[in-house]
Amino acid sequence: MSYLVNPYLVSAPCVDKIWDQTDGSTQVDWNSNMRGNANNVGTGNAYIGTTITSFKIELKETGGTSDVPMYFGVWASGNNDQENPTAVFTGSIDNYNDLTTSFTWYTFTGSRTLVYDDHIGFCVNSAAPNIKQSRAENVAEGTIPNSSFTARAASNPNWWNYNAGQILNMEVYQTC
């Protein structure tokens, strides 16, 4: 028995990094109302239906110590429970005290098939104004198609759109 393989059929290789925004030069200045930051999967996002397995974000702390827990992952539309992401992602930090005083990239792993209005990022269970996250300023949605920066406020537990032109520094990956 012989097997014939068609040498003319070529499939595109899987690319593990599906998006990145890494050259932001400004930072998110938290105030006492903020409870979280995320990149939002907007209408027509090219990655809706893609299963992500990890993401990296650039964070630092700016003074004071606190045992404030941090929660990382993906929150689905309507999930306003900052302590319980729809898809939990874990990494090397889980508490504000784990952050360094200079911007550092942190990686978190888990799994989530993206749908419209998912929020990829992190939350804390109390206001934490000493956290900073790097971001691009006015990048007209940068390299992340149809995505925007969202935030969760302490006085309003819902996600709200902070500014579509301010994309958080983030890398998002899938497993090939």
The answer to whether residue 64 is domain-embedded is yes
pTM as predicted: 0.84
**Predicted confidence (pLDDT) per residue in 127-165, tens digit:** 666 788 888 765 544 445 556 677 776 667 788 776 655
Please count the structural domains in the chain. 1
Q: Print the SS3 string covering the chain.
A: CCCCCCCCCCCCCCCCEEEEECCCCEEEECCCCEEEEEEEECCCCCCCCCEEEEEEEEEEECCCCCCCEEEEEEECCCCCCCCCCCEEEEECCCEHHHCCCCCEEEEEEEEEECCCCCEEEEEECCCCCCEEEEECCCCCCCCCCCEEEEEEECCCCCEEEEECCCCECEEEECCC
Share of the chain above pLDDT 70, in %: 78
The answer to whether residue 6 is domain-embedded is no
The per-residue pLDDT for 56 is 95
146 torsion bin: left (phi>0), alpha (psi -120 to 50), beta (else): left
The answer to whether residue 11 is domain-embedded is no
Whole-number Cα distances in Å, 111 to 125, 173, 175: 22, 10, 10
pLDDT band at 11 (very low <50, low <70, confident <90, very high): low
Average pLDDT over residues 74-82: 89
> Residue 98: which domain range?
18-173
The answer to whether residue 93 is domain-embedded is yes
The answer to whether residue 1 is domain-embedded is no
